[in-house]
Amino acid sequence: MGPLNVIDNADTLLRTPPKSVLPKTQQEIHGLKKRILYRYRNDARREKTSHSEKKCKKIKEERKQPTDTESSFHSALKDSRFIEEFEYLNKIDEGSYGVVYRARDKSTDEIVALKRLKDLNESEGFSIAAQSELNTLLKLRHPNIVAGREIAVGSRSNEIYLVLEYVPHQLKSLLRSARENHLMFSPEHIKCVMTQLLKAVEHLHDNHIIHRDLKTDNILLSQDGVLKVADFGLAREYGFPLQQYTPGVVTLWYRAPELLLLSPEYSTPIDMWSVGCIFAELVNLRPLFPGTSELDQVHRIFLGLGTPSDAVWPGYSSLPPVGNIIFDDYPPGGLRNKISQKSFSEDGLCLLQGLLTYDPARRTTAAAALEHAYFKEQPVAVEPAMFPMSIESVDSGQYSGAEMGEDRGSYYSTCLDSLENDVLIIDV
């Protein structure tokens, strides 16, 4: 009987050979070890190559099948109108993912906003951000979220516009005008804005969407005081278990500490931190943590809220920068000192503290915030139609000069409820 075949044609060791064929001398044993190691490396290399080939094949097959986002996108694109059917009026704003214009729909005379999508590549098609924004806007229908109407196309293949509901006022401009005129919002008006904002964010989170860029620039107000959350260029759907997302999202002043400290996972609580920063800005008329860099932003947060620990934020010490940077040790309890409005209630401060909680798992949710005692205490929120839009004394960039003159005639009249330290509290 011949020797057992213990090596296959691919030079792979099939099983342990019998004693009769095992080497006996030290030199033979050493040689066998080298051959086994060589074969092991070859086997590992072949297995890795095979796995990579299977993975690439799977990805290619998946790409052939359009995702829900791509299906919605291409379906809307197929039925789109031409941009010539709209008349440009003026440029409104420009962001990371597009330029926004005010325009008139020639077929209906309706004023709309046209957002020309940026970051397009003719060979690769639309960016994930562009498709995500369109899909989100077409999917979500809520009175406090700007409505996505349709798509319009230009003469070039990469010239695509989102046709959006036109909302004239930007919260950022409103805050700036109030500050310049030494005015402050009264509690009922702050509650009016916050209630609408929280309803919008609750709807987003109920639909498994993280906005990832909530800030005063992206919060619009209609002439009737109805709040609309806008700009979904960074929005993402989320699932369970949580995925690893890009940490460099959300404008710096509104960025949650878990993003600043490079947490590998994050979810809806990052939006709630942004909501907390907006809440404080409505009260102070100034950003709460206006950092100049990521490190300065962390320092300002720690200074205002106290330096965290594993006791208040489980897992804090294991975050990447914490082991490499020695942060100053600040005591907690400084948030009240950062609120300039003396009339800000204890319930309001309690809600703000809940929104600015370090531990994302314990941070107040949108649904819980809407049920907070702050919104039940007197004075309660006014109706949106009673919101004092007249404090905007300058063009926010969303009107032409002629329109501003016409719209001022329809502004709500206001009376001044109180005067304190030369700062006026707006009331209706």
- Measured CA to CA, the distance from residue 418 to residue 343 in angstroms comes to 11
The two tokens of residue 182 are: 């030494």
Model confidence at 150: pLDDT above 60: yes
CA dist 153 → 80, 104, 117, 165, 254 (Å):
7, 15, 11, 17, 34
pLDDT tens digits for range 188-218: 999 999 999 999 999 999 999 999 999 999 9
- Measured CA to CA, the distance from residue 207 to residue 202 in angstroms comes to 9
Residues of the chain within CATH 1.10.510.10 domain(s) are 169-386
- Measured CA to CA, the distance from residue 411 to residue 388 in angstroms comes to 8
CB 111 within 8 A of CB 122: no
Model confidence at 278: pLDDT above 90: yes
| Listed range (229-238, 295-304, 334-343, 408-417) with the worst mean pLDDT | 408-417
pLDDT on residue 64: 47
User: Which fold would CATH assign to domain 169-386?
Assistant: Transferase(Phosphotransferase); domain 1 (1.10.510)
CB 231 within 8 A of CB 95: yes
Residue 307 backbone dihedrals phi, psi, to 5 degrees: -70, 125
pTM of the predicted protein model: 0.73
> Any idea which residue has 């009240």 for tokens?
336
Residues of the chain within CATH 3.30.200.20 domain(s) are 68-165
Q: What is the mean pLDDT of residues 246-271?
A: 87
Residue 224 annotated in active site? no
Q: What is the mean pLDDT of residues 12-35?
A: 58
pLDDT tens digits for range 88-117: 999 988 766 678 999 999 999 999 999 988
pLDDT on residue 63: 42
- Measured CA to CA, the distance from residue 172 to residue 285 in angstroms comes to 9
Other beta carbons less than 10 A from residue 79's beta carbon: 8
CATH number of 68-165: 3.30.200.20
pLDDT on residue 237: 86
Q: How far is CA 134 from the centre of its chain?
A: 15
Model confidence at 48: pLDDT above 60: no
Own/partner contacts of 103-107, CB < 8 Å, gap of 24 or more, are 105/163
pLDDT on residue 340: 81
CA dist 311 → 269, 303, 328 (Å):
19, 18, 17
User: Pick the catalytic residue: 79, 119, 206, 213?
Assistant: 213
Give the list of residues 6+ apart from residue 58 with CB closer than 8 angstroms, or none: none
At residue 123 the predicted structure's pLDDT band, cuts being 50, 70 and 90, is very low
Q: What is the mean pLDDT of the chain?
A: 78
- Specify the DSSP class assigned to residue 222: -
